[in-house]
Amino acid sequence: MGTRSWAAMLTIKAFIGILTERHAKESESLHPILAAEEPEAHLHPNAQKTLFRQLTDINGQLILSTHSPFLAAMADLYQIRSLVKTDTGVVAHQISHVMSNEDKKVIAREVLAKRGELLFAKCILLCEGVTEEQVLPAMFAVYLKASPWDIGVSCVSVGGKNYGPYVRMASSFGIPTCILSDNDGNTKTEVEAQIRRLSKEMNLTFGANLYGITYLAPGNDFEAELIAHGLRDEVIDALVLYETKGSTNERYRKAKYKELNALTDALLIANMREAKSSYSGFLADVLLENPRKKTVDELVPPNLRASFDCIKGWL
């Protein structure tokens, strides 16, 4: 079906080309308008990108409706319109402020090229690193009894503290955004300065209907927050799964448990930081399985619950 649709679109493109040549020879004006509903349906992602490039060569105006993050990522930011159904009708959003070329490039490069699906989110939860990106969806599901994806929430690591491009993009398209930030070192000072700058430049009010920010406990990054909240056993389970690579050798597993249980909290946290992107997926599974039958409050730290409550309020 995808290739048939692609062939049909290219046939229309050729027809418009013939019309354009004919009108040019007869010195008659012509402004074609082509409207296509999800022309990328059933196409491979690379084919979607090729189709988009082919269609944008058409003389005249092109209007595409799409749910494809690949097409959205290829479009110029100022050309995108987001249509959102509300209780009172459909609201159209677009880039509402003039951005510098550098800001525009950063959003295109850092956000849309890697995270085009964010344009289709109902809410966005921004976090600092890969551990949070893998663990937070599990905690979200434990707390709210629903996967974030099931209810349209995207959880995204910004790879550091650079929240600005994501907030700029989300604010333009009316997507509620909550930041869950570490609180170690001078992180809070840096993030607050960034928020003040964004608030001033874009006239945003954090803590209002569309923007929220929650910090972990003072002095904590995400790993320290988990241990401080009493998730030591769950973390050790995850590290054993990671380090034993799924081995069924019970003596080997017991030795690993003994080794990790002997560590102080500080050394365990150091181990977690070294294995961030490796053990976090296992930790998400452990939290969802909840082998010790802990309560929701025991599994989900209060500062994380605050972020989830913020999103729940928006939804």
Residue-wise pLDDT tens digits, 223-239: 999 999 999 999 999 99
Q: How confident is the model at residue 97 (pLDDT cuts 50, 70, 90)?
A: low
Residue-wise pLDDT tens digits, 8-61: 889 998 999 999 899 988 888 889 999 999 989 888 989 999 999 888 888 889
Return the HEC string of the chain. CHHHHHHHHHHHHHHHHHHHHHHHHCCCCCCCEEEEECCCCCCCHHHHHHHHHHHCCCCCEEEEECCCHHHHHHCCHHHCCEEEEECCEEEEECCCCCCCHHHHHHHHHHHHHHHHHHHHCCEEEEECCHHHHHHHHHHHHHHHCCCCHHHCEEEEECCCCCCHHHHHHHHHCCCCEEEEECCCCCHHHHHHHHHHHHHHHHCCCCCCCCEEEEECCCCCCHHHHHHHCCCHHHHHHHHHHHHHCCCCCHHHHHHHHHHHHCCCHHHHHHHHHHCHHHHHHHHHHHHHHCCCCCCHHHHCCHHHHHHHHHHHHHC
Higher-scoring residue by pLDDT: 56, 100: 56
